[in-house]
Amino acid sequence: MENISFRTTVLPLSDRLYRLALRITMNKAEAEDVVQDTLLKVWECRDNWNRINNLEAFAIATCRNRAIDVVKRAGRDTENLDEMVHFSSQTPHEQLEAREEISLVRRLMDSLPEVQRTIMLLRDIEGKTYQEIAQTLDISETQVKVYLHRARTKIKEWITNT
């Protein structure tokens, strides 16, 4: 592979990976560390890029796995993150104030199981096709739609019942 540089090939993925890591870790500093590790990992294996079908999908999968590892290592549950990890670096008073500022909808989205949250992010925020999401998460398109349907149904129920 010729004329590849970190700046033009890997770095542009930063913000997209950050949003994913942030939705999983719910912590800005941790999310930044996850993105840094992911970008370095992707860059280090550049000699093998010709064996990777989709570099972005590879980076997203790597980032997701690392973010899940960070959450698990910290002893937190990836399936129920909403209540505990949003503001881990703040005082209880700051956490309370900040929590009030965050809208109910965002808290609902963040309280979804990790796989539903990730799929919802990739579809509704990053604008990925079902095929791309399936490839990234290594599951079938049908499974992607099932998880997304569950996530959207929950959101709809919460919205219509409040």
Partner 1 sequence: MDYKYIEQLLERYWECQTTLEEETILRNFFRQEDVPASLLPYRQLFIEQDEMAEEHLDGDFANKMLRLVGEETPMHVCKARRITVMRRLRPFYRAAGLVAILLTIGNAAHQSFSDDEDIANGEQMAEIIAQDSLQQITIGQPEQQSAELTTQPADTIAALPR
* Per-position b or e across 33-64, b if 16+ CB within 10 A of its CB: bbbebbbeebbeebeeeeeeeeebbbbbbbbb
Q: What's the min distance (Å) between Cβ of 75 and partner 1?
A: 25
Using the rule CB under 8 A, is 29 a contact of partner 1?
Answer: no
Q: Which two tokens stand for residue 62?
A: 């790597």
Among 19, 76, 86, 99, binds partner 1 (CB under 8 A): 19
Q: Which stretch binds partner 1 (CB under 8 A): 47-55, 72-80, 85-93, 146-154?
A: 146-154
Q: Which stretch binds partner 1 (CB under 8 A): 34-42, 48-56, 58-66, 76-84?
A: 34-42
d(CA 72, CA 66): 10
Among 6, 45, 72, 74, binds partner 1 (CB under 8 A): 6
Rule CB under 8 A: which of 79-138 touch partner 1? 103-106, 109, 121, 124-127, 129
Q: Is the CB of 76 or the CB of 152 nearer to partner 1?
A: 152
Specify whether the CB–CB gap between 85 and 27 falls below 8 A.
yes
Q: Which two tokens stand for residue 21?
A: 């890591």
Q: Describe the crossing of helices 55-73 and 28-44 by its angle, rounded to 10 degrees.
A: 130
Alpha helices in the chain (DSSP H): 14-25, 28-44, 55-73, 92-101, 104-110, 114-120, 130-137, 141-161
- Judged by the rule CB under 8 A, the positions of this chain that interact with partner 1 are 5-7, 11, 14-15, 18-19, 22-23, 32, 35-36, 39-40, 43, 103-106, 109, 121, 124-127, 129, 145, 148-149, 152-153, 155-156, 159-160, 162
